[in-house]
Chain A
Amino acid sequence: MANAKVDVVIVGAGASGTLYASVLAKAGKKVVLLETGPDWQLTDLISSDFWGRRVKPAGIPFLLEGKNPYGYAYQAGWGVGGAALHYFANFPRYLPNDFKVKSEHNRGLDWPISYADVAPYYDKVAAEIGVSGDAKAEELWRPKGAPYPMPPMKTFRNGDVWKKGCEAAGIRMVPAAVGMNSTPFKGRPACIYDGWCHVGCPIGALANPQVTYLADAKKAGAEVRALSTVTRVLTNEAGSKVTGVEYYDAKKEKQVQEASVVILAAWSAQNPRLMMNSATDKHPKGLANSSGLLGKYMMAHYASGTWALFDDDVENHMGTVGAQYMSYDRYDKTSKKGAFGSTYIVAGTALKTSDLGGFANARFDLFGPQLADFMKRAKRGITRLTAFGEEMPNIENRIELADGKDEFGMPMAKIVHSFDQDAVALWNANFEEGMTIAKATGAKEFWSARGNQPTIHLFGGTIMGNGAGDSVCDSYGQTHEIGNLWVAGPGLFPTEGASNPTYTIFAVSQRGAEQLVSKWGTVAG
């Protein structure tokens, strides 16, 4: 069934898709957002670790391979709002050194743009959706920018003890920048520090799409179609333009949505899968893939966690699930001997009992009466420090189509991912430093949260670059080969830095969306 042609169809209603929808709808474009999951409302966001799992995927059409298979489900989105419906809303920026790794170290890749190109959009996003923090304090590590619209969030003893430990270890901590309200902002209330951010904030204190870009997009006339799964991007006979998408609606009936511009904002893994499944005789390896780089250079963060247990109450039930304090003091790519890549350190988080981040998993080896005893001892005195590490882009880490098909007849895909020796070395080095910091806190007990090296966030697959020879997209997200096919999200990133990516996703998307509006006549043609 064909629907009336629109200006823009956006595949995916998460962080980047809703931002594009907001900017384009406000510019007067007719926008349709297609989202594979449900149309979550704020009232669906029950404060519970197990009820919170409903907003995450229940099986995805990806096979997981490699030495460090990508663990998608905890952090992925499913439904309107995407992963940003349940993100921690840590809003650190990337730093200038993230954009020029190849130039400065002859490792990895360069972005085709610099920090200065993105910086104005960080400020713009902060003003639009609200960021709390201390921009001046961050000038220890980055160029000056606009002040944040809100002061830093409250801190609690579960963060303060780590600040003390870090300072004793020579690591400077500043208030974490977060996409949350420390004060009322644009009609949204201030945070009340209940620590349920990770299952979705229903009060509007955290900047999830439902209360920011999605709300703005709907107000400007954008249409959201939930439970709509896109299977192909359609092209004209010459293969020179995309004409729309094919999708299955909530009744699992096949539909076509024609559009002047198609924006893929479905997820770093799903965008390449869609582009590969849209291959034609004019694009035999998938859309915009003459470089052969579609689906390549997948990257993930990893974390080295350190637990500390105090005899007294550290108020660990209070706060947000994001951070209270952050540090870029180990962000130089060569800051750890024998390793390579940046480290971003955060501390101060509200803890719950269960789920992957719950403190029942702080001593994963314990069970039975020993676990029960530990839970009693830890309930008020345990707290965690986290150091995120950077992985360099590796062409062998990739997405490719696989045997088997999903319920819509679309080929499955596989995510192949392994950490290299530098990432393993940095992960280990960050555990060692975590123990040094923990010792300096004066905690009664402290230990590393070692297990399998985790994979956190997902980047690459449709990287930006200077031309079709070295990349899939340009710095705005426009594919090099098909002018009216755009890609949004962290799939564009040629390197991943070490800090949480969503603020940069928003900034890069804002830059791309404004470019699309300004070049509309040329692009939509």
Chain B
Amino acid sequence: MSEIERRALMKGAALSALAFTAGGVEVLLSPRQAHAQNIAFKTLNADQVATLEALGDTLVPGAKQAGISHFVDQQLSIPPEQALLEARILNIRPPYANFYRAALGTVDKASKAHNADRGFAQLNDSERHAFVDLMRQNKVEGWQGPPGPFVYLVLRSDAVDVVYGTMDGYAALGIPYMPHIAPAKRW
């Protein structure tokens, strides 16, 4: 059997898109599609979504459009043993929503403390960059919550996942993806 034939044989052997709810109906979408369709969030509130999207784009340009908030939100709504988050392999104890709520809340609180009561999503690009640079080095004064470098690690990983870890991400970089079993919806 040729290599191409073998890959083709395995393709489609498992379903691997994420389940979102649109209009009361469960649909399988990639996070990018869920973002484009403005699918309602299940777990995160509006402030948390705004912070996550701003943080995601600061960490990895394109993360918001790639659906970081829908990815994380959908993942927090399913049982932890089904989760695909990097939190899973970073030894974060489930439920993972506890970590994300604490991390996003801490970022916003610290941002307000240092930026005239403006949350992270209200900062301009250079202010966001400067804040994250301090956070990753654990140099944000008065920080109270999950350690800044760890928040950086987890959320940067999520942003890398949605931008660079997908089949679309590989295609954009020009790297052959070469799956044995391809994720559905180019995931």
Given contacts A51-B84, A189-B6, A368-B129, contact A59 B93 (CB under 8 A): yes
Q: Is the CB of A43 within 8 A of B14?
A: yes
Minimum Cβ distance to chain A for residue B11 (Å): 10
Contacting pair B88 A354 (CB below 8 A): no
Indicate if the CB atoms of A56 and B88 lie closer than 8 Å.
yes
- Could you say which residues of chain B place their CB within 8 Å of the CB of A54? 81-82, 84
**Which of B62, B86, B179 has a CB less than 8 Å from the CB of A196?**
B179
CA distance A71 to B88 in the complex (A): 11
Instruction: Report whether A53 and B180 are in contact in the complex, using a CB–CB cutoff of 8 Å.
Output: no
B146 contacts chain A at the CB level, 8 A cutoff: no
A354 to B177, CA, bound (A): 12
The segment from A140-148, A355-363, A469-477, A498-506 found at the interface with B is A355-363
Residue of A nearest to B3 (CB): A192
- From B21-29, B53-61, B109-117, the one touching the partner chain is B53-61
Q: Is there contact, CB below 8 Å, between B178 and A203? A: no
Secondary structure call for the A interface:
loop
- A367 an interface residue at 8 Å Cβ cutoff? yes
Can you list, as one digit per residue, whether each of A33-51 has a CB less than 8 Å from chain B (1) or not (0)? 0000000000111111111
CB–CB B83/A58 < 8 A: yes
Query: Which of B36-44, B100-108, B164-172 forms contacts with chain A?
Result: B164-172
8 Å CB interface, A450-488 against B: none
Known contacts A73-B91, A196-B179, A360-B164, A379 near B14 by CB under 8 Å: no
6 A–B contact pairs at CB < 8 A?
A: A43-B14, A45-B181, A47-B178, A73-B89, A202-B13, A354-B164
Contacts of B121 in A (CB 8 A): none
Neighbour of B173 across the interface among A44, A72, A375, CB < 8 A: A375
B175 and A353 within 8 A (CB): yes
- Given A58-B80, A367-B156, the answer on whether A51 and B60 have CB atoms closer than 8 Å is no
**B interface size (C-beta, 8 A):** 53
Give B141-177 interface residues, CB cut-off 8 Å to A.
152-153, 156-157, 160-161, 164-165, 169-170, 173-177
Interface pair B173/A48, CB less than 8 Å apart: no
Known: A48-B183, A51-B84, A78-B81; 11 extra A-B contacts, CB below 8 A, are A43-B181, A49-B165, A53-B89, A58-B88, A317-B175, A353-B160, A353-B164, A358-B164, A360-B160, A379-B174, A380-B174
A interface, CB within 8 angstroms of B: 43-51, 53-54, 56-59, 64, 69, 71-74, 78, 189, 192, 194-196, 201-203, 317, 352-356, 358, 360, 364-365, 367-369, 371-372, 375-376, 379-380
Shortest 7 CB-CB contacts between residues of A and residues of B: A354-B165, A47-B179, A50-B84, A353-B164, A58-B80, A43-B13, A194-B178
Query: For chains A and B in complex, what number of residue pairs have CB atoms within 8 angstroms?
Result: 146
A376 touches B16 (CB 8 A): no
* Measured CA separation A44–B91 after assembly (Å): 23
**Complex CA–CA separation, A360 to B85 (angstroms):** 16
* Nearest CB on B from A211, distance (A): 13
Please name the residue on chain B nearest to A45 by beta carbon. B181
Q: Which residues of A contact B58 (CB under 8 A)?
A: 367-368
B1 at the interface (CB under 8 A from A): yes
**B133 CB to nearest chain A CB (Å):** 8
Tell me which residues from 62 to 89 in chain B have a Cβ below 8 Å from any Cβ of chain A: 62, 80-86, 88-89
Asked, given contacts A53-B89, A356-B89, whether A48 binds B179 with beta carbons under 8 Å apart, the answer is yes
Task: Please state if A53 and B85 are interface contacts (CB–CB under 8 Å).
Answer: yes
With a cutoff of 8 Å between Cβ atoms, the chain B residues found around residue A358 in the complex are: 160, 164-165
* A379-B173 in contact given A367-B156, A368-B59 (Cβ < 8 Å): yes
Counting CB contacts under 8 A, is B132 at the interface?
yes
Nearest Cβ distance between residue B89 and chain A, in whole angstroms?
4
Tell me if B86 and A194 are in contact (CB < 8 A): no
B10, A203: Cβ atoms under 8 Å? yes
Which residue of chain A has its CB nearest to the CB of B152? Answer: A367
What separation, in Å, do the CA atoms of A32 and B91 have in the docked complex? 30
Q: Which residues of A contact B132 (CB under 8 A)?
A: 367-368
CA separation between A368 and B54, bound complex, in Å?
Answer: 11
How long is the Cα–Cα vector from A51 to B176 in the complex, in angstroms?
A: 18
CB pair A369–B91 under 8 Å, yes or no, is: no
User: How close is A20's CB to chain B, nearest CB, in angstroms?
Assistant: 26
Residues of B within 8 A of A195 (CB): 178
Establish whether residues B180 and A45, one from each chain, have CB atoms under 8 Å apart when the complex forms: yes
A369–B128 CA distance with the chains assembled, in angstroms: 13
B44 to chain A, nearest CB (A): 19
**A189–B10 CB distance below 8 A:** no
B35 at the interface (CB under 8 A from A): no
Contacts of B89 in A (CB 8 A): 53, 56, 73-74, 355-356
**A-side contacts of B173, CB under 8 Å:** 353, 375-376, 379
A369 to B58, CA, bound (A): 8
CB contacts (< 8 Å) of A69 on chain B: these are 91
* Max chain A C-beta neighbours (<10 A), residue from B80, B86, B133: B86
In the complex, what distance in Å separates the CA atom of A58 from the CA atom of B94? 7
A171 to chain B, nearest CB (A): 30
A73:B88 contact, CB within 8 angstroms: yes
Q: Does B182 contact A (CB under 8 A)?
A: yes
Known: A48-B183, A354-B160. A368 touches B61 (CB 8 A): yes
User: Chain B's nearest CB lies how many Å from the CB of A5?
Assistant: 31
Contacts of B94 in A (CB 8 A): 58-59
Q: Which of B10, B177, B180 has the most CB of A within 10 A?
A: B180
Q: Given the complex, which residues of B lie within 8 Å of A317, measured CB to CB?
A: 175-176, 178
How far is the CB of A66 from the nearest CB of chain B, in Å? 13
On chain A, the residues within 8 Å of B175 by CB distance are: 317, 353, 379-380
Find A353's partner among B84, B129, B165 (CB 8 Å cutoff): B165
Task: Please indicate the chain A residues that have their CB under 8 angstroms from the CB of B13 in the complex.
Answer: 43, 202
Note all chain B residues with C-beta closer than 8 A to A196.
178-180
Known: A47-B180, A53-B85, A367-B132. A375 touches B61 (CB 8 A): no
C-alpha spacing A372/B63, complex, angstroms? 11
Chain A residues with CB under 8 Å of B187's CB are: 48, 50-51
Asked whether A202 and B10 contact (CB < 8 A) given A49-B161, A51-B187, A54-B82, the answer is yes
Q: Answer whether residue B90 sits at the interface, using C-beta atoms and an 8 A cutoff.
A: yes
Q: Known contacts A53-B86, A203-B10: does B183 contact A372 (CB below 8 Å)?
A: no
Q: Is the CB of B160 within 8 A of A201?
A: no
Q: Quick check: B6 and A46 within 8 Å, CB to CB?
A: no
